[in-house]
Structure 1
Amino acid sequence: MEASVKKCLLGAVFLGIGLSASTVQAAASDTWIYDSITLLAKEGYMDMPEKPLSAYSKKELGQMVAQALLEFEKNRTGSLADEYGRISRLLVVDEVQLKLAEEQERAAESRIKSARSKAAKDTEMYVRRSMQGKNRLEVMQPLKEKSNASLNRLEQASRDYAQAKSRVEQRSRMLDYVRKRKQDLLAGLNGSENGSAVSAGNAGIYGNSVSAGGATSVVPASVLDTVGRLRAEFLPELDENGSLDSMNARQQLESNMPVEDVPDQRLKVDAEVRYDVRYSSGADSGENRQRARARLYPDYNIDNNWHAIGMLEWEKAFTGSGDDKDGKLKLDRYYLSGNVGIAHMDLGAFGSTMAEGNIYDSKFMGVRVQAGEPVKYTLEYGKAAKDKIEQSYDFTISYQGAVYRVEGGFYHFKRRDENSQDIYMANYHHNIGLLDAGAMLLYGRNKGDSGKTGYVFTLGYTPQNSWQPYTFSSWLKYYYQPSSTYVSHTMNAMVDNMRYDKNDSFNRNGGFKGWGIGINYNLPAAWTLGLEFYRLQDLEWGRRSNTIWFAVTKSFQNYHE
Structure 2
Amino acid sequence: MKKSLVFAMAMALGVSATAFAANPFSDLPAGHWAYGAVAKLAAAGVVDGYPDGTFKGDKTMTRYEMAQIVAKALAKGAIGADDKLVSEFADELDNLGVRVAKLEKNADNVKITGNIRTHYAHSTGDFGKNSVSKTRSRLFFTGEVNDNWHYVGMLENNQTWNNDGKNDAGDNNTSFQRAFLTGNIGVVNLTAGRYNGTYAEGNVYDTRVDGVTANVKSGATYLGATWGKLANKDVFGDGANQAVGGEYVNAVLGGDIGNLNLEANYIHAKDLNTKQATNTVYTKGWVTGSDNIWTAAATYKAGDWTVGAMYLHGDADDKIDGVEPDHDGWVAKLGYKGAVASKAGSWGLFGKYYDQGGATYIAHTMNGDYTNFGPDGFKGWMVGGNLAVAKNMVAQVEYYDLKDKGSTSNHAKTLWSQMVVTF
Q: Which residue of 1 aligns with 2:283?
A: none
CA-atom RMSD in angstroms: 3.9
Change (3 A) 1:475 1:285: farther
Q: Which residue of 1 aligns with 2:394?
A: 528
1:343-492 alignment to 2 at 5 Å? Answer: 343-373=188-218, 374-385=220-231, 387=243, 389-415=245-271, 419-447=289-317, 452-462=327-337, 467-492=342-367
Q: Is the 8 A contact 1:392 1:412 kept in 2?
A: yes
1:232-251 alignment to 2 at 5 Å? Answer: none
Name the structure with the higher strand share.
Answer: 2
1:190-205 alignment to 2 at 5 Å? Answer: 195=59
Specify the SS of the correspondent of 2:372.
Answer: helix
What percent identity do the matched residue pairs reach?
Answer: 24
Higher Cα radius of gyration? 1
Q: Which residue of 2 aligns with 1:549?
A: 416
Q: Letter of the 1:303 partner, please give it.
A: N
Q: Letter of the 1:473 partner, please give it.
A: G
Q: Distance in 2 between matches of 1:245 and 1:366?
A: 43
Change (3 A) 1:228 1:339: closer
Q: Distance in 2 between matches of 1:525 and 1:370?
A: 33
Q: Does the alignment pair 1:304 with 2:147?
A: yes
Q: Letter of the 2:417 partner, please give it.
A: F
Query: Please, which of 371, 374, 381 is the counterpart of residue 515 of structure 1?
Result: 381
Q: Is the 8 A contact 1:290 1:317 kept in 2?
A: yes
How far is the alpha carbon of 1:494 from its aligned partner? 0.8
Deviations 1:251-278 (A, max 9, x none): 69xx9xx999452521111122222111
Q: Normalising by the residue count of structure 1, what TM-score does the alignment of the two structures yield?
A: 0.52
Change (3 A) 1:446 1:183: same
Q: Is the 8 A contact 1:285 1:494 kept in 2?
A: no
Deviations 1:528-555 (A, max 9, x none): 2111111111101223221101112222
Q: Distance in 1 between matches of 2:64 and 2:305?
A: 56
Q: Extract unaligned runs of 5+ from structure 2.
A: 10-46, 69-86, 233-242, 273-286, 319-323
Q: Letter of the 1:348 partner, please give it.
A: G
How far is the alpha carbon of 1:489 from its aligned partner? 0.6
Q: Does the alignment pair 1:493 with 2:404?
A: no
Q: Letter of the 1:430 partner, please give it.
A: Y
1:148-227 alignment to 2 at 5 Å? Answer: 184=56, 186-187=57-58, 195=59
Q: Letter of the 2:302 partner, please give it.
A: I
Deviations 1:407-464 (A, max 9, x none): 1011111117662111101111111121111111111111166862211111112359
Q: Distance in 1 between matches of 2:415 and 2:300?
A: 29
Q: Which residue of 1 aligns with 2:276?
A: none
Q: Extract unaligned runs of 5+ from structure 1.
A: 1-79, 90-174, 188-194, 198-225, 233-241, 501-506, 557-561
How far is the alpha carbon of 1:401 from its aligned partner? 3.9
Q: Is the 8 A contact 1:295 1:311 kept in 2?
A: yes
Specify the SS of the correspondent of 1:288.
Answer: strand
How far is the alpha carbon of 1:465 from its aligned partner? 5.6
Deviations 1:393-414 (A, max 9, x none): 1100111344121110111111
Q: Distance in 1 between matches of 2:185 and 2:225?
A: 14
Q: Is the 8 A contact 1:285 1:497 kept in 2?
A: no
How far is the alpha carbon of 1:385 from its aligned partner? 2.0
Q: Which residue of 2 aligns with 1:333?
A: 178
Q: Is the 8 A contact 2:225 2:250 kept in 1?
A: yes
Q: Is the 8 A contact 1:284 1:494 kept in 2?
A: no
Q: Distance in 2 between matches of 1:524 and 1:537?
A: 36
How far is the alpha carbon of 1:364 from its aligned partner? 0.3
Q: Distance in 2 between matches of 1:247 and 1:531?
A: 51
Q: Distance in 1 between matches of 2:130 and 2:222?
A: 41
Q: Is the 8 A contact 2:340 2:346 kept in 1?
A: yes
